């Protein structure tokens, strides 16, 4: 069943916003060349709407766009508003931006100009960011001010069968507004949430939202923009190649090789040169939120992002590595991570120190992973993991696999004491190297994992004249993350780190079963 519209005029456009934009607004979404562009974004929204109308469950409804300058991000958002308002009746559309000027002089200016002179239904209220057809059919623009701490209550409360939410300049939209929209994204027949921003930080709610499973992420980079690639005004009013060339000259330097941590790139009109962009180029041109280069962590945002997007062929696992981080206090969670076939996933999250629950979670993870040489690494810091290890070593099902079972003391001496102050620092460093060739299964890891790896920082300490890297204490991390412990990071690095890190390099027999598979780490 489809929504009703005035005399059916716009019925044919309900599941075809691209056609509406071309036929009614004379707007031509541009297609990406190497990555998805405006056209593909709108087509994905159309697919979501069609699946929602068909009654499917677990349909993507949140579309998050990082964009460089001058790619038409606000203009295409305005076209989405006009399509939804005309095609779904009655419907509610709520648009937000951090400031009044961003609401009225950017998004709503485009909404009104696209409708002007086309005889479209409804009434645009003069001097306001609002249009309406009926008391239950309207679109409005609002700023995201917190209203004295009551912003969530003020923003939420609207519910309808057909609802569209647009967050323009979403980098500056605060958490309370995101919470309010989440509360309204329930119960309706068709729900779409589109967020667009020129990203400048990795601390915003907009950035964090992109790590949630089910969120559709897009990056509209000027390096993939038709005007820049063609060297012509293919998209009228869009950014030119000349401007991008100026940014390359001012904000990039040649690099000898590509480096995913630094978002290096090449352009076809300047062949043979690899460019390393600075932070300003990253967000203004590429739509990449720059990292605070002053922070020291083993896993960079670029490396983690690459792991999320990496696709590896399905193969039988040679080694199944399982990391078990044991909960100790209050809000801590125990984690069981599995690294096999080059992919990392969370197998279990446990809130209580129940040794039998941990053992069963490990056994299930082993079954799910399939055949392969087995290595289980259990956090034994503080003695909490000792009972788990004893049960694992007595388990006949596991012993049939002849596993290597390691009791890991995070504060123990590093495998490489010439570089690292303790074992946990060594683990995070080696796990970061593994991650460079691994795949992180986005749908099977929590969003917190990125912060645990990317924002778990280290510093340098002097140990008897040796300058060593040392991971920050958990309490320091917790202060930056509202008391949350980096449990996912600890579990993940236990799974990701290579086998030799857990073995005494003087006892070669301890790792003989794995040398043929992983290579001799001491040769």
The tens digit of pLDDT for each residue in 327-357 reads 866 566 799 999 999 999 999 999 877 889 9
Tokens, residue 347 = 């197998």
In angstroms, how far apart are the furthest CA atoms of the chain?
83
Across 194-222, b (16+ Cβ under 10 Å) vs e yields: bbbbbbbebebbbbbbbbeeebbbbbbbb
The whole-number pLDDT of residue 473 equals 94
Domains identified in the chain and CATH numbers: 6-220 (3.40.50.300), 226-294 (no CATH), 305-518 (3.30.420.240)
3-class secondary structure, 23:
helix
The whole-angstrom distance between residue 120's C-alpha and the CA centroid of its chain comes to: 38
* Beta strands, E only, 99-243: 123-124, 130-134, 137-143, 162-168, 190-197, 215-220
Pairing of strands 404-408, 373-379: parallel
* Ramachandran bin of 410, using left for φ above 0, alpha for ψ from -120 to 50, beta for the remaining angles: alpha
Which of 414, 421, 348, 409 has its CA nearest to residue 380?
409
Residues (pLDDT < 50) of the chain are 1-5, 7, 146-155, 505-523
Helical H segments across 284-420, by residue range: 301-309, 355-369, 386-394, 396-399
Q: Are 2 and 162 in contact (CB under 8 A)?
A: no
DSSP H or E run through 226: helix 226-230
Give, as one character, the DSSP assignment of residue 4.
Answer: B
The whole-number pLDDT of residue 122 equals 92
The whole-number pLDDT of residue 207 equals 87
The tens digit of pLDDT for each residue in 445-466 reads 998 999 899 989 998 888 887 8
DSSP structure string for 392-449: HHH-HHHHTT--EEEEE-TTSPPSSTTTBSSHHHHHHHHHHHHHTT-EE-GGGS-THH
Q: Are 18 and 42 in contact (CB under 8 A)?
A: yes
The whole-number pLDDT of residue 155 equals 44
Please state the φ and ψ torsions of residue 277, each to the nearest 5 degrees. Answer: -85, 150
Q: Burial, 374: exposed, middle or buried (Cβ in 10 Å; 0-12, 13-18, 19+)?
A: buried
The whole-number pLDDT of residue 501 equals 94
Q: CA-to-CA distance for 277 and 258, rounded, in angstroms?
A: 11
The whole-number pLDDT of residue 437 equals 92
Q: CA-to-CA distance for 450 and 455, rounded, in angstroms?
A: 8
Q: Tell me how crowded residue 419 is: count the other CB atoms within 10 A of its CB.
A: 14
DSSP H or E run through 229: helix 226-230
Which of 172, 175, 171 has its CA nearest to residue 67?
171
């Amino acid at each position: 069943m489809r929504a009703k519209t005035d005399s059916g005029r716009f019925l044919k456009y309900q599941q075809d916003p691209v056609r509406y934009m071309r036929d009614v607004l004379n707007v031509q979404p541009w297609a990406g060349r190497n990555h998805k562009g405006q056209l593909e974004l709108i087509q994905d929204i159309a697919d979501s709407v069609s699946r929602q109308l068909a009654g499917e469950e677990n349909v993507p409804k949140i579309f998050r766009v990082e964009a460089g300058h001058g790619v038409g991000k606000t203009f295409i958002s305005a076209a989405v508003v006009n399509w939804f308002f005309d095609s779904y009746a009655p419907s509610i559309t709520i648009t937000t931006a951090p400031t009044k000027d961003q609401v009225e002089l950017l998004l709503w200016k485009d909404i009104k100009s696209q409708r002007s002179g086309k005889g479209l239904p409804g009434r645009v209220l003069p001097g306001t960011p609002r249009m309406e057809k009926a008391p239950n059919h309207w679109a409005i623009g609002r700023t995201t001010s917190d209203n004295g701490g009551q912003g969530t209550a003020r923003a939420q409360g609207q519910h309808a069968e057909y609802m569209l939410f647009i967050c323009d300049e979403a980098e500056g939209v605060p958490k309370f507004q995101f919470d309010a929209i989440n509360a309204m994204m329930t119960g309706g027949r068709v729900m779409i949430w589109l967020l667009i921003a020129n990203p400048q930080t990795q601390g915003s709610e907009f950035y964090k939202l992109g790590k949630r499973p089910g969120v559709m992420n897009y990056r509209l980079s000027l390096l993939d923009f038709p005007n820049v690639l063609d060297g012509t005004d293919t998209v009228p009013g869009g950014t030119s190649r000349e401007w991008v060339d100026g940014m390359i000259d001012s904000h990039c330097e040649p690099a000898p090789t590509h480096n995913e941590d630094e978002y290096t790139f090449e352009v076809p009109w300047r062949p043979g040169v690899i460019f390393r962009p600075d932070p300003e180029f990253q967000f203004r041109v590429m739509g990449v939120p720059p990292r605070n280069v002053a922070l020291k962590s083993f896993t960079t945002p670029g490396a983690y992002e690459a792991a999320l997007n990496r696709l590896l062929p399905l193969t039988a696992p040679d080694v199944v590595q399982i990391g078990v981080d044991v909960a100790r206090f209050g809000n801590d969670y125990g984690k069981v991570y599995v690294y096999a076939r080059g992919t990392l996933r969370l197998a279990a999250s446990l809130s209580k120190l129940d040794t039998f629950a941990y053992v069963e979670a490990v056994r299930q993870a082993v079954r799910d992973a399939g055949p392969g040489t087995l290595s289980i690494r259990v956090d034994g810091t503080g003695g909490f993991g000792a009972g788990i290890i004893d049960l694992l070593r007595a388990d006949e099902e596991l012993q049939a696999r002849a596993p290597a079972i390691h009791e890991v003391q995070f504060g123990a001496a590093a495998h490489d004491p010439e570089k690292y102050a303790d074992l946990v620092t060594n683990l995070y460093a080696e796990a970061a190297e593994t991650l460079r060739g691994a795949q992180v299964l986005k749908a099977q890891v929590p969003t917190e994992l990125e912060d645990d790896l990317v924002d778990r920082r280290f510093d340098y300490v002097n140990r008897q004249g040796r300058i060593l890297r040392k991971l920050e204490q958990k309490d320091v991390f917790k202060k930056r993350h509202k008391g949350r412990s980096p449990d996912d990071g600890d579990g993940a690095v236990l799974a990701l780190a290579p086998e030799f890190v857990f073995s005494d390099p003087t006892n070669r027999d301890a790792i003989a079963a794995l040398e043929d598979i992983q290579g001799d780490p001491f040769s």
